[in-house]
């Protein structure tokens, strides 16, 4: 055996060096049949911040490991009675999570490499050692151990969260099935079947969310790349949840400026999936006010063109304490004083990983009592942005008045009109219409402002702006107007909210 410099042997079997910082203290076992080597090893790790155990043989080391938790083993290769390879074989079999480092003066690197390749040892250090190299090797090994433990902890949390989410729908299915089995033939089963269907769908949602999360985590969710209409994806996704929002009295608005390139290349399905998650969360937790969805060209950097997507709501907001955990798997914020309204808590975690896999960024801002904004940015290659299929559409020298009760929705509509070079002005009520109303080419008025006596309001409006100025009424899926009644009042067109660019454009072409 190679010997270190002669020093008084350290006979202590338990040596603790006070930690130099507040990081976790690890238990490290040093195994060598030479007391001087053990003493030199202990000196090398002074002020390391870990607890050290020492053993003079493989058998003694195994006895220590039976009685103590050990995170890492540093073992000599050549020892009498039980060699280092035999000792490490026992350790690998009985304590597979313990990190194993080989300490040797043996120069046959092929044998050492074979021990590492077969998993017998994770790393090796040669004698005589450089203290800095030895400490660095141990530090790297402990970092690997921490990463493994964190991964293991994440798996446990993931499974615990999944089990919790599966429990409710499965219990409901079992309970409803028991009730159905007790009912007499001919009894009305329809209500229970609806409940069974609802529980089944909830169960399917949990499974789908978990599968999506697993695919993203393991890199098995491929990102597609194909030409698609970005405006169509954003507007269609917003419209999918409009009825749900409008049924609660929540306004929905969507803004994609007219200068957005008509075609980009990317994964439309994944972008839609993330938008759906953000919009669904906004609608779920917002009981009044509005949810506004935007996609705007942001900036150019090198050879890419970035688009900023955002979903803003007037919900209760999220506390400062909870904000740090929002994108963690299975975490569900309370959103102020509101109770959790279902879901697995995987949506934001999945969304974050999807956007990052596409080279983008995700973020949010929130203020309790005010609302939240969730956003993401994605790059699109400038060279593949197709030019417009038709000349730029604009309506210069045209003036449109937007009468909208909700300020955010009014601003969104006027912004869309201004992107078409229209001089657009907002008013919050028919009483706020400017005195020069007769100079407008079109008045767009919200159905909510007209109220139940909308015919009277239309007459008043016409008297104020003039009979010849066309009026376009915006309405929702939950507050439709009778077309025949509208025609009698001289109103030819209605515009469904959230306003879609192509539909608005057709109305403007027809009217202006």
Question: pLDDT tens across 261-285, in order?
Answer: 888 888 888 898 899 889 989 999 9
- Residue 234 burial by Cβ neighbours in a 10 Å radius (0-12, 13-18, 19+): buried
Q: What gap in Å lies between CA 387 and CA 385, rounded to an integer?
A: 7
More confident call, 248 vs 223: 248
CA distance to 51, 195, 334, 356, 403, per residue, from 450 (Å): 77, 40, 37, 46, 10
Quote the mean pLDDT of the chain: 80
Beta-carbon neighbour count of residue 419 at 10 Å? 18
Q: pLDDT-derived band of residue 21, with 50, 70 and 90 as boundaries? A: very low
Spatial distance between the Cα atoms of 155 and 277, rounded to a whole number of angstroms: 24
**What's the average model confidence in pLDDT over 505-512?**
90
d(CA 471, CA 490): 9
Q: Which of 412, 371, 404, 403 is nearest to 288 (CA)?
A: 371
pTM of this prediction exceeds 0.85: no
pLDDT of amino acid 9: 34
Domains along the chain with CATH numbers: 14-129 (3.40.50.2300), 158-217 (1.10.287), 226-384 (3.30.565.10), 399-511 (3.40.50.2300)
* Cβ(456)–Cβ(414) below 8 Å: no
Spell out where 205-344 has E strands: 226-228, 251-255, 264-266, 290-301, 304-313
Q: Is there a contact between 280 and 315 (Cβ–Cβ < 8 Å)?
A: no
Q: Is the peptide bond before 128 cis (omega within 30 degrees of 0)?
A: yes
**pLDDT tens per residue, range 414-459:** 999 999 999 998 888 877 777 665 678 898 988 887 766 777 777 7
Are the CB atoms for 491 and 467 separated by under 8 Å?
A: no
Read off the DSSP letter of residue 81.
S
- Reported as half-sphere exposure (CB side, CA atoms, 13 A), residue 369 has a value of 0
498 preceded by a cis bond (ω within 30 of 0): yes
């Amino acid at each position: 055996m190679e010997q270190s410099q002669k020093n008084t042997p350290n006979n202590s079997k338990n040596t603790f060096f006070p930690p130099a910082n507040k990081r976790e203290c690890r238990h490290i076992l040093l195994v060598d049949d030479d007391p001087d080597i053990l003493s030199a090893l202990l000196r090398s790790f002074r002020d390391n911040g870990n607890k050290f155990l020492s053993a003079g043989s493989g058998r003694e080391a195994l006895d220590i490991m039976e009685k103590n938790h050990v995170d890492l083993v540093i073992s000599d290769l050549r020892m009498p009675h039980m060699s280092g390879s035999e000792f490490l074989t026992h350790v690998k079999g009985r304590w597979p999570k313990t990190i194993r480092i080989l300490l040797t003066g043996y120069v046959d690197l092929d044998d050492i490499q074979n021990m590492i390749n077969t998993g017998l040892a994770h790393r090796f250090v040669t004698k005589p050692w450089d203290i800095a190299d030895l400490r660095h090797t141990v530090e790297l090994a402990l970092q690997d151990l921490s990463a493994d433990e964190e991964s293991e902890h994440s798996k446990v949390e993931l499974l615990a969260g999944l089990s919790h989410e599966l429990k409710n729908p499965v219990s409901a299915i079992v309970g409803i099935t028991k009730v159905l089995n007790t009912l007499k033939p001919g009894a009305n089963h329809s209500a229970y079947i609806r409940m069974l269907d609802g529980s089944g769908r909830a169960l399917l949602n949990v499974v789908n969310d978990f599968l999506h999360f697993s695919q993203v985590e393991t890199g098995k969710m491929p990102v597609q790349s194909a030409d698609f209409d970005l405006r169509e994806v954003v507007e269609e996704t917003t419209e999918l949840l409009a009825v749900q929002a409008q049924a609660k009295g929540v306004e929905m608005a969507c803004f994609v400026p007219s200068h957005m390139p008509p075609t980009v290349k990317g994964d439309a399905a994944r972008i839609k999936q993330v938008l759906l998650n953000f919009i669904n969360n906004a609608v779920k937790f917002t009981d009044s006010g509005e949810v506004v969805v935007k996609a705007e060209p942001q900036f150019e950097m090198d050879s890419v063109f970035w688009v900023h997507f955002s979903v803003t709501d007037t919900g209760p907001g999220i506390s400062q304490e909870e904000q740090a955990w929002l994108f963690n798997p299975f975490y569900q914020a309370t959103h102020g004083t509101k109770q959790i309204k279902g879901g697995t808590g995987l949506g934001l975690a999945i969304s974050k990983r999807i956007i990052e896999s596409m080279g983008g960024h995700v973020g949010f801002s929130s203020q309790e009592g005010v609302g939240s904004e969730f956003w993401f940015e994605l790059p699109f290659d400038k060279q593949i942005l197709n030019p417009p299929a038709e000349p730029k559409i604009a309506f210069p020298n045209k003036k449109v008045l937007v009468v909208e009760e909700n300020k955010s929705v009014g601003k969104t509509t006027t912004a869309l009109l201004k992107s078409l070079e229209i001089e657009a002005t907002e008013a919050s009520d028919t009483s706020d219409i400017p005195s020069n109303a007769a100079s407008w080419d079109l008045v767009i008025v919200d159905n909510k402002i007209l109220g139940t006596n909308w015919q009277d309001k239309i007459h008043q409006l016409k008297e104020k702006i003039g009979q010849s100025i066309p009026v376009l009424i915006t309405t929702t899926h939950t507050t439709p107007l009778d077309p025949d009644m509208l025609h009698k009042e001289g109103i030819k067109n209605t515009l469904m909210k959230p306003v879609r660019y192509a539909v608005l454009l057709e109305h403007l072409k027809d009217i202006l």
